[in-house]
Amino acid sequence: MKTLVLTAHPDLDTSSVNRRWYEALSREPTVTTRDLTAVGGPEMRFEPRAEHVVLRSADRVLMQFPFYWYSAPPVLKAWLDQVLLPGFAYGPGGDQLVGKELGLVISTGGPAKSYASGSYNSFTMTEFLTPFEQTAKMVGMRYLPHFVLHSAMSRDRAIVDASIPAVISYATTPIADLHLRKERVPA
């Protein structure tokens, strides 16, 4: 199985969590990593044909990002808008992603308990991530349960390090062998 990880962090070099995940995933032989901020540049411009080649080669696509204002950073939205085009991802002839898997690898600043009905964020992570699930459905991808590390900014290095094997497993283990929960919080 080949996995493509699309990392959407506005400043990956200063990240304490996403950078560590990106570096670990980059060392995996069956994983291709792409720093969308570096690829798209300050204008967030992507070359659809080049991105299509990379997407076609993957069996699983993971979108890795910090959860900002209840969504992904703008660079991921720009990538989606410029790359998931009619004739490629949907519409007549748009079947290039059918059967592939889509998963999300997310870090949040808030604790897990804040992403629940009635909490100060009002909604669950699953509810916040519904647009990604619908995107997967629209383009014929199988949507995987998401991987989340909550309270990422307050986590010490040992806890972040402890999450790395789980992230690698999420990226490299065939879905039939994964035991995924809807929301994961490494111990």
pLDDT in tens, 33-85: 999 999 999 999 999 999 999 999 999 999 999 999 999 999 999 999 999 99
CB proximity list for 65: less than 8 A, separation 6 or greater: 7, 8, 9, 18, 72, 73, 76, 104, 105, 106, 107
Tell me which residue of 105, 88, 106 sits closest to 97, measured CA to CA.
88
**59 with 100: CB under 8 angstroms?**
yes
Supply the angle between the helices 74-83 and 48-56 in degrees, to the nearest 10: 90
Compute the C-alpha angle 28/29/31, nearest 5°: 65
Predicted TM-score of the model (pTM): 0.92
The Cα 185–Cα 149 span in angstroms is: 5
Q: What is the pLDDT of residue 177?
A: 66
Q: What is the pLDDT of residue 181?
A: 43
Distances (CA, A) of 62 to 93, 111, 172: 24, 23, 11
Residue 35's CB is within 10 A of a number of other CB atoms, namely 20
CATH, range 3-177: 3.40.50.360
Q: What are the start-end ranges of the E strands in 86-144?
A: 101-107, 142-143
**Predicted confidence (pLDDT) per residue in 116-174, tens digit:** 999 999 999 999 999 999 999 999 999 999 999 999 877 788 888 999 999 999 999 99
Tell me which residue of 68, 4, 90, 15 sits closest to 39, measured CA to CA.
4
Average pLDDT over residues 178-187: 46
